[in-house]
Amino acid sequence: MSDRVGCLLEVTSVSTENELFSAVDALLEQVAQDDLPDPAERKRLREAAGLSQAQIATVLGARREAVGNWEIGKTEPRPPKRAAYARLLEGLAARYPATAAAGPAPAPAPVVPEAFTGPAPEPVPAPAAAVPPSRPKTEASSTTRPSATSRRPGAKKAVAKKTTAAAGAVDPRFENGPLAVIDADADGQVSAYCVGGLVLDVPAKTIPALVDWTLAEGRLGQARLHRNGRDADPILVLTSSALERFGLPAALSEEERNASRLPAGHKVVKQIERAGLQMTQRGFGPWARIFRDPEGSRRRCVQLCVLPWNALDVREWGRKDDPQLLVTMHPADLVQYLGLYAARVMTPRGSTATTGLELMTALRPPTRAEKDEATGEFKPAFNDDAITARYEVVECEVPDEHPVLKGKFARHHLRTPAEMLMEEPYDWCRPLTDEECANPYLVCVDINMSFAAAANSLTVGLNGPTRLTGNPKFDPALPGSWLVDLSHVDLSRVRINGRTVDGTRLPSPFTPKGDRPEGPAWYATPTVAYAVELGFDVAPIEAYVRTQTSRYLDAWYKRLRDAYVDTMADMGVTTDLQGEEFLEAMARRKQVDPTMALLETAIKATAKGAIGKLRQRSRGQVPYYEPYPALERWTWRPDIRAAVLAAQRTGLHRKLLKTAAAAGLYPVAIGTDAIVYPSPGPSPLDVLPTTPEGKPVPGGFRLGVSPGMVKHQGTQTVLWAEQQFEERGSVFNIANLIKTDQSAGEGE
């Protein structure tokens, strides 16, 4: 009997082992099938077959932009699309083999740095994208390595994507990535943690020596995002142990926090001065820029990000419920997080708002290299699609403390809509009707990155204002501000697609509070254009318009859109998910990869903050009506901010109308980009209307991850809402309180 049992166990063991081996063999075979040619070869095969990116995207169920990114090595296809894409390329390669006659690609044109002082520099290759920490590492970089004395024994080497094209695209000047986290161990040994798991030994014992090591050996930085732009300076993130090692205080005193810098007599500041290094006027604060004079056209500058001094605001870069997260995060994890942000957005420049504004300039540089035919030398020339100067301002477009308003109004005068351009997002709420109270739930949906989505394809002005008087004719092609009376526009009964909509249950599209205008007021071009779209006559009284126009924010939007969509995909929320699958993926995304959840927050804050910074207000640095630092920026453009917010609000109202026309569905509250609807069930699927085929109503709200689509922000009961109205009165907005996820919404 025992022999039979032993024999049976042996057979079972062999059977299980064979099954495991078969599964492993199948997995290896699948990996082999998924091998892809390099990005350049992918593009060659497609073009050789006469196929468009859209055709391939349709077959694979992907976006056309995704196929384009695969062909430049920016992103890689993921299963199951990866196997299908590999099969397609294998078939095309059999039909259209590569020829040996193909020559090298032409070198890019020379570029001019921001401070042009000499001949155009040599062209440099584009940077390779950083590898997300949640993805498996592939092979070690084959490019030039730092000196053996700099690499910590046993440390990982920097990794690159598997494709040979991506490996060959690594800029040797920035081989170790855009930034490093500087940390010190108990013995005082300083280490630089770089992207890809690389750890370098740093021999520096002082801040000046650290800066010189970075410039000479660090190989840190990021190649320009535009051929006419400039390379990003290397960033060194200093941890608490690094501060102690270099003689810096663990925290700033109250006086130092108010000044945002160390005093001039601090020993580290004196070390920097004695070493012949220079600092900007900001001094040595949470974000310190230390540099030497340029060598020809090459900048020699390093930025220090002092983590314990709150250089990375936890509300933007971290988690509100864990304020110490970034300070306590392991340097290897922190550098992967910030390195991936740099790869997908850009190297951080301070707050997310500052970084988002710098991204606009990086993608639309003001100058380019232009060869002087007479002398043969390169000189800077302005680009037509960029902001190239600081122009005069318009009184109605500036905030109350602006110097141009000095002496115009009493100190505490509240400007009226006829005196001030009040283009802001919605903050509107109304009482529920008896019919709506019959629903048990209030479902709140939130628009993904609504300000960034509104900037897409938006025409804005680049030059200074031109005043139009004498009742000028409205021209929707001219961005600017228009003084016009829209009080005659009656939206109580509007016809949309042959159906009548009860406009009294919707907010007015012309005011942030949703009230009907009472007389002449200043509006941005998108708002007036929407009144015309609804079929009403407009008669401007005067206007300030810009005649040099551009879709200036398009490249900025696309960069942030791709960063957001790719990050969400890393958490399992892909563009092909719909309905319940999408809602479930959104609910569990932060548990899938906490680092990617931080990156999601940072990207959304970058988009939102950059739009706000276009009209940055005084922070109390100077007295009222005195010039403050933000006004010196070329990108201080309140007219562009107003255009984006007007487009966001009117675009939202357009979807409200189409949703009401299709299903008789009306919101009860709107907070920026969060919309609250009465619902028979707790899910957005219970309330958002669909066509008979089960698809979203054309022009209405659609669940999805892409910017402009909506996600579930939260659900409450109607009884809860009635209780809130009783306790707080009507002067509050329930849209701001309905949040299942407290980090959702907030004007993304």
Q: How would DSSP label each residue in 671-692?
A: EETEEEEEESSSSGGGTS-B-T
742 vs 744: CA distance, rounded Å: 6
State residue 114's pLDDT score: 39
Q: Would you say 129 and 75 are in contact if contact means Cβ atoms under 8 Å apart?
A: yes
Is residue 149 in some structural domain? yes
Q: How would DSSP label each residue in 177-210?
A: -SEEEEEE-TT--EEEEEGGGBEEEE---SHHHH
271-278: long-range contacts, CB 8 A cutoff, minimum separation 24: 271/206, 271/207, 271/208, 272/207, 272/208, 274/208, 275/206, 275/208, 275/212, 277/208, 277/211
Task: Provide CB contacts within 8 A for 228, sequence distance 6+.
Answer: 111, 112, 365, 367, 368, 369, 383
Same domain, 34 and 178: no
Is residue 546 in some structural domain? no
The CATH number of whichever domain residue 61 belongs to comes to 1.10.260.40
40 vs 228: CA distance, rounded Å: 23
Q: Would you say 86 and 36 are in contact if contact means Cβ atoms under 8 Å apart?
A: yes
Q: Would you say 660 and 666 are in contact if contact means Cβ atoms under 8 Å apart?
A: yes
557 vs 591: CA distance, rounded Å: 27
Q: Residue 529 carries which side chain, given as an amino acid letter?
A: A
Rounded-to-5 percentages of helix, strand, coil across the chain: 35, 15, 45
- Boundary (domain end) residue, out of 95, 120, 147: 95
State residue 95's pLDDT score: 82
Is residue 567 in some structural domain? no
3-class SS of residue 438? coil
State residue 298's pLDDT score: 86
- Boundary (domain end) residue, out of 348, 363, 391: 348
State residue 18's pLDDT score: 55
Is residue 607 in some structural domain? no
Same domain, 74 and 169: no
649 vs 425: CA distance, rounded Å: 6
Same domain, 184 and 304: yes
Same domain, 88 and 150: no
Same domain, 187 and 285: yes
Is residue 106 in some structural domain? no
Same domain, 41 and 156: no
Closest among 435, 536, 442 to 485, alpha carbons compared: 536
359 vs 557: CA distance, rounded Å: 10
Q: Would you say 607 and 561 are in contact if contact means Cβ atoms under 8 Å apart?
A: no
Same domain, 143 and 249: yes
Same domain, 164 and 288: yes
Residue with tokens 């009465």: 678
Residue with tokens 């970089």: 141
Which residues form the domain of 71? 23-95
Number of structural domains found in the chain:
2
Is residue 653 in some structural domain? no
Same domain, 165 and 231: yes
579 vs 706: CA distance, rounded Å: 14
679 vs 687: CA distance, rounded Å: 5
Closest among 353, 282, 345 to 316, alpha carbons compared: 353
- Tokens standing for 306? 């002092």
State residue 34's pLDDT score: 55
State residue 156's pLDDT score: 41
- Tokens standing for 439? 């629903």
CA distance readout (Å), 319 to 450, 461, 601, 602: 21, 37, 9, 10
3-class SS of residue 16? helix
Is residue 31 in some structural domain? yes
Is residue 504 in some structural domain? no
State residue 116's pLDDT score: 36
606 vs 363: CA distance, rounded Å: 15
pTM above 0.85, yes or no: no
Same domain, 91 and 144: no
432 vs 592: CA distance, rounded Å: 38
CA distance readout (Å), 574 to 445, 579, 590, 594: 18, 12, 14, 17
Residues in the chain: 748
Same domain, 37 and 171: no
State residue 373's pLDDT score: 84
Q: How would DSSP label each residue in 303-371?
A: EEEEGGGTSS-HHHHSBTTBTTHHHHS-HHHHHHHHHHHHHHT----SSHHHHHHHHHHHHS-SEEEEE
Q: Would you say 551 and 360 are in contact if contact means Cβ atoms under 8 Å apart?
A: no
Intervals of the chain under pLDDT 50:
1-2, 4-15, 24, 27-29, 31-33, 100-168, 743-747
- Tokens standing for 346? 């850009």
- Boundary (domain end) residue, out of 322, 348, 374: 348
Same domain, 324 and 184: yes
314 vs 741: CA distance, rounded Å: 17
